[in-house]
Amino acid sequence: MRYPPLTGFAGGLLGLYLTTPGLRKEGSLAPTEQGLPVAKDVWLLGIGVGLLTRGTVDRGGRRVTEAAETLAKADAPVARAERRAERRTARTAA
């Protein structure tokens, strides 16, 4: 996954916005004029979280399928030379 840095950076910006005095109006999440440029970057957090979620959902089924195939191969009696040939074929295909 390549998106945790984006999410982490955006989370840091949001934390900066929430903790720095003068960027928000008193008792509100609404930005002041000084906080507007930082508050606009909250969309980065939404994109990062969305990409992380999508990547997790998309990988879930594939991982289960790959694990099942690996276990099925381990149960079948296959000669050592055949396994090596399968690995070489998989490496060249990738």
Would you state the pLDDT for residue 76?
64
Would you state the pLDDT for residue 3?
64
Structure tokens at 11: 């989370």
Domain interval for residue 50: 4-93
- Number of domains the chain is built from: 1
Would you tell me how many other CB atoms lie within 10 Å of the CB of residue 39?
19
47-52 long-range contacts (CB < 8 A, ≥24 apart) are 47/6, 47/10, 48/3, 48/4, 48/6, 48/7, 48/8, 48/9, 48/10, 48/11, 49/7, 51/3, 51/6, 51/7, 52/1, 52/3, 52/4, 52/7
pLDDT digits (tens, 9 = 90+) for 14-71: 999 999 999 999 999 899 999 998 888 889 998 988 888 887 777 666 777 777 777 7
First to last CA, the chain: 18
Give 78's pLDDT tier (boundaries 50, 70, 90). low
**Residue type at 4 in one-letter notation:** P
